[in-house]
Amino acid sequence: MGIDKEKEYLLKAIGAFQRRFIVVSPKFKILAANCRLNGTAESEVIGKCCHLIFYDRQEPCDNCAVKEAIAKRKPTLMPKPQNTLDLDEMPCYFAYPIYSGDEIEAYVSMDFDLPTRGGLEEKLHRSNAFLRNLIFSAVDGVIASDIAGKVLIFNDAATKVFGYSVDEALLYLNVRDIYPDNKAYEVMRNLRSDQYGGKGKLQSYQVDIISKNKEIIPIFLNAAIVYENEKEVATIGFFHDLREELRMKEELGKTQLQLLQAEKMSSLGKLAAGVAHQLNNPLGGITLFTKLILEEYDLEDGAKEDLNRILRDAKRCRDTVKELLEFTRQTRQLMRPHDINRSLTRTLFLLESQTLFHNIEIVKELDASLPPVLSDIQQLYHLFMNIILNAAQAMEGKGMLTIKSYLLPDGDKVCIEISDTGPGISSENLPHIFEPFFTTKEEGKGTGLGLSLAYRIVQNHGGSIQADSVPGNGTTFTIVLPVGSKKT
Ligand SMILES: Nc1ncnc2c1ncn2[C@@H]1O[C@H](COP(=O)(O)OP(=O)(O)OP(=O)(O)O)[C@@H](O)[C@H]1O
Ligand SMILES: [Mg+2]
């Protein structure tokens, strides 16, 4: 068909169209029209202003779609008139520009709502932008992928959790690779089952993910499969990073444990102090009268030996009572600035001569620039002695003992680490080691008071003590003591 014929048909088609369809200049002059207007032939309306011809107005109408289209330079749909039932009464409420190159040459104005599609598109565009904003400003990581795992949406929060940039994720990441050990299949299987919030859904599902730098991160995942005509087309997941929550939970647990410990220690301390005082007097009596008998009577050697045994045992009892009093802080504290390295070295010096230590390699990494720590030297000896002895006993006299001291970055706390290469402490025992009378040693070999005393001493100094152990791989005790005073 020739081009002229085509044009002719097009013009006829527009002419036969039952609704008003006109082309106006940017000055509202009618350039073409498809209808008779107020009885005037279309040829006669050409060049006249539309508002004058249609509505007998000198100025463009208030609700003029062309006016809006001129202002916005794009297709414009005015709100549909509320109370116009008569189709002939419809105002021009849709207009769109016609371009000549980059310039707008004219506007088409219509009084029918075929072009509602344009409005819908704009609405769709707007609601898409809103959804995009919602997803991108979400606090949790949001990842959507197609059914092959190709990432389609990767929001800002996801970049923080996973460590990939949005571009990296969209171009190279497959959603299966964000789970370690092929866990993606397990996640998909659970998503398809109806056990986690219904078929196609996962609610509050805890899972580990692996970040770009290979860090395993615990996550709370809420996810869904997107279906189209019952066919899976995509998945969307909301990833909530659990690291901070778990850290806080652990911290809280530790604080609770410490509180419990402190409470136990204080009631036990009171009890022990009472018992110690009650024992001191009779022990004094036993010692005194045994000595008197030894001095005043001419006894056989066997009897003398027995009495000396009584004296030795009584002395041991008094030593234990002294320990108990120390333990319950009944001895007077003498707080003075002390060199921690020196007290560690002296404790080691006292212990090293014992056979238990002969086959233990001792490594000292002591920071010579430590400031003095306000402390009771006697208590410090007890503290280090108990921990070092435990380490040597755990290693059964063979292994490596490492003792480190250093200043913490804030500059007002000293840290002491005592590590051994012994069998470690099981996770069941670890929470109990600071409890008084907790021991795993055979009867007669341990009282279970060593670490509870250590705990109390560290507390008296306003510090903290902690044990970390990997069973089979040794134990490290970390003691943090505040410097307290910078004076020497
Ligand atoms: N370095 C260590 N390696 C392995 N286990 C340890 C270590 N230090 C302490 N323990 C465990 O902690 C328990 C409690 O220690 P604690 O010093 O309080 O008591 P004890 O050594 O058993 O007895 P005591 O010190 O009164 O003679 C020990 O029985 C042991 O099971
Ligand atoms: Mg001990």
Q: Which residue's CA is the nearest one to ligand 1's atom 13? A: 439
Residue 87 has pLDDT above 50, yes or no: no
Helices (H), 339-472: 340-352, 377-394, 450-460
* pLDDT exceeds 90 at position 65: no
Q: Which domains does the chain have, with CATH numbers?
A: 3-115 (3.30.450.20), 138-241 (3.30.450.20), 246-327 (1.10.287), 336-482 (3.30.565.10)
Pocket of ligand 1 (CB under 6 A): 386, 390-391, 394, 420, 422, 425, 429, 433, 438-441, 446-452, 475
pLDDT, mean over the chain: 85
DSSP 8-state code for residue 23: E
pLDDT given at position 487: 40
Residue 376: exposed, middle, or buried by beta-carbon count in 10 A (0-12, 13-18, 19+)?
buried
**Nearest residue CA, atom 5 of ligand 1?**
425
How many alpha carbons lie under 13 Å from residue 192 in its C-beta half-sphere?
Answer: 10
Distances (CA, A) of 298 to 312, 314, 334: 20, 22, 45
Cα 386 to ligand 1 centroid, rounded to whole Å: 9
In the prediction, which pLDDT does 423 show? 96
Whether the per-residue pLDDT at 359 is higher than 60: the answer is yes
Atom of ligand 1 nearest to the CA of 438: 14
- Specify the pLDDT at position 418: 98
Between the CA of 394 and the centroid of ligand 2 the distance, in Å, is 9
pLDDT score recorded for residue 488 = 37
Mean pLDDT of 207-212: 94
Q: For residue 307, which of 292, 319, 290, 295 has the smallest C-alpha distance? A: 290
pLDDT tens, position by position, 381-423: 889 989 999 999 999 999 999 999 999 999 999 999 999 999 9
CA of 425 to the centre of ligand 1 (A): 9
In whole angstroms, what is the distance from residue 186 CA to residue 195 CA? Answer: 13
Enumerate the β-bridge partners of residue 465.
Answer: 479
Beta-carbon contacts of 29 under 8 Å, excluding residues fewer than 6 positions away, are 47, 48, 49, 50
pLDDT tier at 262, thresholds 50, 70, 90: low
- Candidates 330, 356, 327; CA nearest to 434 is 327
The span from the CA of 416 to the CA of 404, in Å, is 6
Q: Which two tokens stand for residue 304?
A: 């003398």
Per-residue confidence (pLDDT) for residue 126, from 0 to 100: 75
Classify 69 as helix, strand or coil. Answer: helix
Cβ atoms of residues 314 and 286 within 8 Å: yes
CA of 487 relative to ligand 1 center, distance in Å: 35
Residue 112 has pLDDT above 70, yes or no: no
Nearest to 477 by CA among 435, 397, 416: 416
> Hey, what are 418's tokens?
């005592």
Residue identifier of the C-alpha nearest atom 1 of ligand 1: 391
